[in-house]
Structure 1
Amino acid sequence: MSTTAVKYILAIFLVIAFRYQGFCQKMIFNHYEVGDGLVQSQVNQISQDSTGTLWITTLGGISRFNGTAFSSLTKKDGLLNNRAFAAIADKKKNIWISTAGGISILRDRHLKNLRVPRFHNEWMWDMVCDSKNRIWGVARGSLFMITDTLITQIITINGRQPQIESIQTDSEGTLWVSIRKEGLYSFKDRWIKEVDFSFLKEDETIRSFFVDPLRKVSMVTGSALYLFDEQGIRAIHSEYFKNITEDLYSVLVDYNGYTWIGSSKGAFRVSERSQEHFTAKNGLTDAPIYGLFMDFEKNLWLGTNGYGLFRFSNDDLKVIDTDFGLVDNVVTALETDSKGKIWIGTAGAVYVLENGKLQRLNHPWPASQVLTIYRDKTSRIWIATSAGLGYFLGGTFKIIDNIPNVLSIAESDVHGILIGARTKLYSYHKGHLQEIPHFSDMPISFCQIDNGKILIGTTNGIQMLSGQSLTKPYESLPFSHSQIVSLVKYQNLMLVGTSDQGIFLWDMKTGKVANCTVVDGLLSDVIYSLKEDKYGVVWAGTGRGVNKIKINTERFKFQVFPASEGGTPAVECNTMALIFNGGEVWFGTTKGIYIYNIKSVTAPVFAPKLQITNTQLINIINGKATLTNVSKDHRHKFNPDENNLNISYQAVYLSDPENVNYQHRLVGLESAYSPPGRNTNVSYSSLSPGEYEFRVIAYSPRGVKSNTATFAFYISQPYYDTLLFRLFIILLMGITFISIREYLAARKRQKVLLRERIKEEEQLKVRQQTSEDFHDDLGNKLARISALSDLLSRMTAGKDEAAKDVIRKIKLNAAELYEGTKHIIWSISPESDNFYEIVLFIRNYATSLLEDTTIDFKVSGVFHELNEIQLPYQYSRHLTMIFKEALNNVLKHSKASSVELAVSQPDNNRIEITLFDNGIGIQEDIKKYSNGLKNMKTRAQRINGDLQIDSIPGKGTTIKLTFSPLGKHEG
Structure 2
Amino acid sequence: MWVVHTSVAQVYHFQHYDIFSGLGQSQVTDIEQDRLGYIWLSTRGGGLSRFDGLHFTTYRKEDNLPANNILSLEIDTKGTMYMGTPFGLSIYDGQRTRPVRTSDREPYTVSSVIGDTKGNVYAICNASQLGLLLGDSLRFLKKNSSDRPSFFSDMSVTPDGKLMVSTYSGEIFEVTPKGLFRRYNFSPALVLRSILFDNQGLLWLGTDEGVFTTNAKTSSALTAISHDIVHEMTEASDGSIWMGLSMGALRYQQGNILRFNADNGFSNFMVRGLLEDREGNLWFTTDGDGVYKFTNPAFTSLNTQTGLHGNTISSLALSPTGRLWVSYFDGGLDIVDTQTNRPLPVPLSLQRKRVNCLSVDNEGNVWVGLAGPGVYKVQTDKVTYFPLDDYISSQGVTLFMQAGKGKEVWISTSNGVLLYDGKSFQHFHSKEGLKGSFVRRTLLLQSGELLTAGPRGLNVVRNGKVSDFQYDNELASFPALSMAQRYDGLLALGSFEDGVVVFDPKTKQKRFFTVKQGLCSNLIYNTSFDPKGRLWIGTERGIDLLTLDAQFRIASIRHFNETDGFTARETNANTAYVSPNGDFWIGTIKGIFHYRENPKLRLPTTPKVHFTEVKSPFDTTNLVQFAKSKDTWYNVPNELSLPHTRNQLKISFISINHSHPDLVRYQYQLEGEDEAWLGPTEQTSVVYSHLNPGKYRFNVRASLGDNRWGETAVYAFEIVPPFYQRSWFIALVISLLIASVGLVQQLYIQYRTRRVLAYEKLKQEAEAAIRVQLAQDFHDELGNRLAAIRMQSSVLKLRYESRETGNEEKRIVGEIEKNVVRLFRDTKDFIWAIDPESNLVKELVLYIKDFGENLLQDTTIRFHSNTTIPFELENVTLPPGWSIQVIMIFKEALTNCIKHAQCQNIYFCATLQGQNVSFSLEDDGCGIVFPTDGYHKGLNNMRQRAEKIHCSLAIAPRSPSGTALTLTGTIPTKTASPKIR
Task: Give the shorter-chain TM-score range.
Answer: 0.7 to 0.9
Residues in 1 aligned to 2:523 and 2:186: alpha-carbon distance in whole angstroms: 58
Residues in 2 aligned to 1:81 and 1:640: alpha-carbon distance in whole angstroms: 38
Judge which range, 460-469 or 26-35, deviates more. Answer: 460-469
* Aligned equivalent of 1:312: 294
Residues in 1 aligned to 2:62 and 2:677: alpha-carbon distance in whole angstroms: 41
Cα distance change of structure 1 residues 836 and 503 upon mapping to structure 2, 3 Å threshold:
same
> Deviations for 1:435-458, whole angstroms, at most 9, x for unmatched residues?
253737997654444654445567
Q: Secondary structure at the match of 1:190?
A: strand
| Cα shift at 1:82 | 0.9
Residues in 2 aligned to 1:91 and 1:220: alpha-carbon distance in whole angstroms: 32
Residues in 1 aligned to 2:707 and 2:866: alpha-carbon distance in whole angstroms: 109
Residues in 2 aligned to 1:317 and 1:299: alpha-carbon distance in whole angstroms: 14
Residues in 2 aligned to 1:470 and 1:838: alpha-carbon distance in whole angstroms: 128
- Is 1:950 the counterpart of 2:956? The answer is yes
TM-score by length of 2: 0.76
- Is 1:152 the counterpart of 2:161? The answer is no
* Aligned equivalent of 2:595: 596
Q: Is the 8 A contact 1:528 1:574 kept in 2?
A: yes
Counterpart residue type for residue 508 of structure 1: P
> What pairs with 1:553-564 in structure 2 (closer than 5 Å)?
558=555, 560=557
| Cα shift at 1:29 | 0.4
| Cα shift at 1:187 | 3.3
| Cα shift at 1:98 | 1.4
Alignment: residue pair count: 927
Q: Is the 8 A contact 2:490 2:504 kept in 1?
A: yes
2:387 to 394, 398, 416: 398
> What pairs with 1:87-126 in structure 2 (closer than 5 Å)?
87-89=73-75, 94-107=80-93, 110-114=96-100, 123-126=109-112
Cα distance change of structure 1 residues 89 and 810 upon mapping to structure 2, 3 Å threshold:
closer
- Is 1:766 the counterpart of 2:750? The answer is no
* Aligned equivalent of 1:353: 335
Q: Is the 8 A contact 1:227 1:236 kept in 2?
A: yes
| Cα shift at 1:678 | 7.6
Q: Secondary structure at the match of 1:125?
A: strand
Judge which range, 785-794 or 797-806, deviates more. Answer: 785-794
Residues in 2 aligned to 1:495 and 1:47: alpha-carbon distance in whole angstroms: 48
Q: Unpaired runs of 5+ in structure 1? A: 1-12, 242-246
Cα distance change of structure 1 residues 890 and 704 upon mapping to structure 2, 3 Å threshold:
closer
Residues in 2 aligned to 1:30 and 1:471: alpha-carbon distance in whole angstroms: 47
| Cα shift at 1:913 | 2.4
> Deviations for 1:774-794, whole angstroms, at most 9, x for unmatched residues?
444444554565566578778
Q: Secondary structure at the match of 2:945?
A: helix
Q: Is the 8 A contact 1:80 1:102 kept in 2?
A: no
Residues in 1 aligned to 2:959 and 2:28: alpha-carbon distance in whole angstroms: 130
Counterpart residue type for residue 225 of structure 1: G
> Deviations for 1:500-550, whole angstroms, at most 9, x for unmatched residues?
887666543234567888899866676543334456555443555335555
> Deviations for 1:169-217, whole angstroms, at most 9, x for unmatched residues?
555555555555x43534355224443254x7xxxx6655555444343
Counterpart residue type for residue 28 of structure 2: V
Identical pairs, percent? 24
Cα distance change of structure 1 residues 144 and 799 upon mapping to structure 2, 3 Å threshold:
same
Q: Secondary structure at the match of 1:827?
A: helix
| Cα shift at 1:833 | 2.0
Q: Is the 8 A contact 1:145 1:154 kept in 2?
A: no
* Aligned equivalent of 2:851: 845
Q: Secondary structure at the match of 2:956?
A: strand
- Is 1:933 the counterpart of 2:939? The answer is yes
Counterpart residue type for residue 393 of structure 2: D
> Deviations for 1:555-606, whole angstroms, at most 9, x for unmatched residues?
9884555669973647233344212468642112344322111445x77378
Q: Secondary structure at the match of 2:940?
A: helix
| Cα shift at 1:396 | 3.7
Counterpart residue type for residue 43 of structure 1: V
Q: Is the 8 A contact 2:526 2:575 kept in 1?
A: yes
2:186 to 177, 192, 195: 195
* Aligned equivalent of 1:29: 14
1:85 to 71, 92, 96: 71
Residues in 1 aligned to 2:944 and 2:454: alpha-carbon distance in whole angstroms: 113
2:881 to 874, 877, 882: 874
| Cα shift at 1:45 | 2.6
- Is 1:65 the counterpart of 2:65? The answer is no
> Deviations for 1:894-947, whole angstroms, at most 9, x for unmatched residues?
222332333333x34333322222222222133996343233233333334333
Counterpart residue type for residue 900 of structure 2: H
Residues in 2 aligned to 1:712 and 1:607: alpha-carbon distance in whole angstroms: 22
| Cα shift at 1:829 | 2.5
- Is 1:333 the counterpart of 2:333? The answer is no
1:817 to 816, 823, 827: 823
Q: Is the 8 A contact 2:537 2:545 kept in 1?
A: yes
Q: Secondary structure at the match of 1:574?
A: strand
| Cα shift at 1:76 | 1.9
| Cα shift at 1:101 | 2.1
* Aligned equivalent of 2:204: 217
> What pairs with 1:104-183 in structure 2 (closer than 5 Å)?
104-107=90-93, 110-114=96-100, 123-129=109-115, 135-138=121-124, 141-147=127-133, 148-150=136-138, 152=140, 158-164=146-152, 168-169=156-157, 171=159, 179-180=167-168, 182-183=169-170
| Cα shift at 1:879 | 1.4
* Aligned equivalent of 1:263: 246
Residues in 1 aligned to 2:231 and 2:618: alpha-carbon distance in whole angstroms: 58
1:185 to 168, 172, 175: 172
> Deviations for 1:347-402, whole angstroms, at most 9, x for unmatched residues?
4335333343389999999999x8754455585635476xx664233354735325
| Cα shift at 1:112 | 1.7
| Cα shift at 1:963 | 3.4
* Aligned equivalent of 1:9: none
Counterpart residue type for residue 72 of structure 1: T
Residues in 2 aligned to 1:35 and 1:140: alpha-carbon distance in whole angstroms: 34
Q: Secondary structure at the match of 1:144?
A: strand
Q: Is the 8 A contact 1:565 1:655 kept in 2?
A: no
Q: Is the 8 A contact 1:771 1:829 kept in 2?
A: yes
- Is 1:757 the counterpart of 2:744? The answer is no
Q: Is the 8 A contact 2:841 2:878 kept in 1?
A: yes
1:884 to 883, 887, 891: 891
Cα distance change of structure 1 residues 863 and 523 upon mapping to structure 2, 3 Å threshold:
closer
* Aligned equivalent of 1:244: none
| Cα shift at 1:31 | 0.9
Cα distance change of structure 1 residues 178 and 349 upon mapping to structure 2, 3 Å threshold:
same
Q: Secondary structure at the match of 2:931?
A: helix
> Deviations for 1:234-273, whole angstroms, at most 9, x for unmatched residues?
76676xx8xxxxx986666765646644335x44567898
Cα distance change of structure 1 residues 779 and 166 upon mapping to structure 2, 3 Å threshold:
closer
Q: Unpaired runs of 5+ in structure 2? A: 378-382, 977-981
| Cα shift at 1:317 | 1.7
* Aligned equivalent of 2:979: none
Cα distance change of structure 1 residues 657 and 361 upon mapping to structure 2, 3 Å threshold:
farther
Q: Secondary structure at the match of 1:880?
A: helix
TM-score by length of 1: 0.77
Cα distance change of structure 1 residues 900 and 726 upon mapping to structure 2, 3 Å threshold:
farther
Q: Secondary structure at the match of 2:526?
A: strand
Cα distance change of structure 1 residues 682 and 161 upon mapping to structure 2, 3 Å threshold:
same
* Aligned equivalent of 2:902: 895
| Cα shift at 1:58 | 0.9
Residues in 2 aligned to 1:50 and 1:539: alpha-carbon distance in whole angstroms: 35
- Is 1:434 the counterpart of 2:429? The answer is yes
